[in-house]
Amino acid sequence: MTIATFIADNRGGHIGLSSPRADGPPKVHGQARYAAEYMLPGMLHGVPVQSHAASGRIVAIHADAARAMPGVVAVITHETAPEQEPFAESDDAMAKIMGAKPMLATDRILFHGHFVALVVADSYETARDAAFRVEVEIEGGHDALNFGADQAYAPAHVNGGYEADSDEGTFDAAFAAAPVKVDATYDTPYEHNAAMEPHAAVAEWQDGRLTIHDCNQGPSACAVAIANTFKLQPKDVRIVSRYVGGGFGSKYGIHPHNMLAAIGAKVTGRPVKVALSRQHTFNGHGHRSRTEQRVRLAAGQDGKLVALAHDNLLQTSTHDEFVEQSGILSRLMYEAPNRRTTHRVVRLNMPTPAWMRAPGEAPGSFALESAMDELAVALGMDPIALRLANEPPIDPETKLPWSTRSLRACLEQGAAKFGWSGRKAPGANRHGRTLVGMGVAAASYPVLGMPASAKLTLNPDGTALVQLAATDIGQGTYTVLRQIAAAALGIEEEAVTVEIGDSDLPMTSGSGGSFGLSSFGSALTGAAEAVRARVVERAREAGPLRGVNDDDLVFDAGRVQRRTDPDAGESLVALLGRGGAVVESYDYKPSDAKEHYSMHSFGAQFAEVGVDMDTGEVRIRRLLGAFGVGRVMNPRTATSQVLGGLTMGIGQALTEETVMDPRWGQWVNRDLGEYHVPVQADVPVIEALFVEEHDDKVNAMGTKGVGEIGIVGVAAAIANAVFNATGVRVRDLPITLDKVLPGLPIAD
């Protein structure tokens, strides 16, 4: 019996239903323990000391005043920290994730706010007070803080392992000869992952083994990276991360907070908690790079693209390389025979950028989809019609066939539900003192799969236990894994216990990049298939099901029974009574389908905005996303994910921007009072719909992932709606009133 068979069977009605969240009750009742809530006997508290310069060398750290304070146990610096493996820069994706990342290991200042010491005390308040009394003396340094193309270079690869550049056909000649052109530059600012839960970790060493209670998206990967840093075996590091209060990429793997907690515990011989303040989390935990993106499109009068170029300028740090892949989306979205994409990056004395929801696709879609809207205006063509006219029959970059491509369905079904036919010409829809407009943008995100393992135990009482090192960062892992096991075994969801968030459990790559469920869900379905086979074996040995063909057996309501005669069967409890529990493990490895098919999710974003004629203020009136994401295992949790992405897209479009002071290299607005994420008043009733899509190439479940695609294209849809409302084209995010107001018509 195959994995796909029992998922399709689904007689228990678990797959595809909006089952309530399994982790809901413990969270509501206060039973879900987050990293900062762990209290261990004898635990101390650590608070980092930060650099006040963006570069240079540490001459001295004056900590006598701090050490003299009652309750202070240690002030740890690069001179007293334990030995660690040196950092080695690499453009290999796995080396970046698993490689050593030492802390307090050098006298070099890497950026303003760099953690250069750790104060450990018997209370958080004492440690914080003492940290303010530590003085760091720094000399030298040549700050590189100005974002510009003059110092940019061409990297070998960008995030995701893609080649930095692509070139096909003769772009320059085709662009020059085309009758209709767009040549525009689009800017996106620095942005920060602003998860509700700040980063925190509690570390303890026992008999040479390190255990860290952490808020981590990838416990298995983090354990390996920390082991490599401290020159340990991976089995000697355990990362426990049962509940995570959001991450958006900033909590994947090794980070300063968990390393500092481990160092503090190593030096003091006692458990140490490092719970960062909101201001701390803006340094060293990643951010989205600023981008300057030049997009050039050329088309015939029929709207068919003849040339497309997307050139990207981005930022990385002086000590590591991370290049946002903002030009990748342009390689696959539309057909154009002459195409070019480039990525150039400049090294600055700033923290290293890292993953932030839909890295690459989120900023890249703003540029590409805004340019497509500008081309539609130049052609006098409906923006949806323009996109449909340039639908590629195969992947334009790889020349592979699509496993499925649902963009047309997303655009058409989304337009019908949104009422796109009622859209008016730019500036023509006025409601009192408000100008109203609609905008659309297309979206895509790649289907990713990672190796994963899972263990499934079917107990003699008919209950089941699922164990794997997956994480739930809010997307519904506990819930959907319970559904998969219940569907496979024909038992109630309440009879399934899911144990995740521990690197001692079977390995997974955790949650990120929308590869979570596709990876660890596939591992669980493999384990479930093996358990079913063992149970069927027992059923066919004796009793009413003796010798029955496997294909004539179904699992339903705690029984194994004939498909053709439901009265003929045995309960799971009876079958297990003949041999005890059934325990199976399964190691999943993605198939080679990516070598033969281009596999992506697709979507269409629709926005309606109102722009105040007197102030230029932009308000979202309606927002809808239509998505083709393969099989939706749980519409409730999937909808929650894409609504979260849509909301984050509002922030990208209208409010989010981290401001860098170029004199000091300091983030100016490093708190939620000044870094503005959307709040209730900013978010209207938003909707999501899933188009029906069956993709048997991506994995046996047919799932593609929904965590990232919700944000892709939202900013462009909103910017395009602002243009439709006002005739004002804003090409740099966020869209603030000062960018809109000067172009508005004079009030009458």
Tokens 């608070």 found at: 47
Question: Pairing relation of β-strands 291-299 and 305-317?
Answer: antiparallel
Containing H/E element for 571?
Answer: strand 569-571
Count Cβ atoms below 10 Å from residue 601 Cβ, excluding itself: 29
Count Cβ atoms below 10 Å from residue 318 Cβ, excluding itself: 18
HSE of 199, CA atoms in CB hemisphere, 13 A: 31
Q: Provide the strand spans (E) within 632-715.
A: 660-661, 666-667, 686-690
Range list of H helices, 490-622: 516, 522-541, 572-577
Q: Provide the strand spans (E) within 447-543.
A: 452-458, 464-467, 496-499
Q: What does each C-alpha distance from 25 to 28, 487, 676 come to in angstroms?
A: 5, 22, 30
Catalytic residue among 292, 369, 657, 708: 708
Question: Pairing relation of β-strands 600-612 and 338-348?
Answer: unpaired
Tokens 């029992």 found at: 6
Q: What is the dihedral of CA 238, 239, 240, 242, to 10 degrees?
A: -140
Positive or negative: CA dihedral 501, 502, 505, 511: positive
HSE of 214, CA atoms in CB hemisphere, 13 A: 36
Catalytic-residue membership of 708: yes
Measured CA to CA, the distance from residue 650 to residue 640 in angstroms comes to: 15
Q: Among candidates 579, 581, 488, which has minimal Cα distance to 526? A: 488
Residue pair 458/489 in contact (Cβ under 8 Å)? The answer is yes
457 strand-pairing partners: 465, 583
Residue pair 293/363 in contact (Cβ under 8 Å)? The answer is yes
Measured CA to CA, the distance from residue 114 to residue 110 in angstroms comes to: 6
190 strand-pairing partners: 658
Count, residues in the chain = 748
Tokens 């039973």 found at: 31
Containing H/E element for 94?
Answer: helix 93-98
Tell me the catalytic residues.
Answer: 708
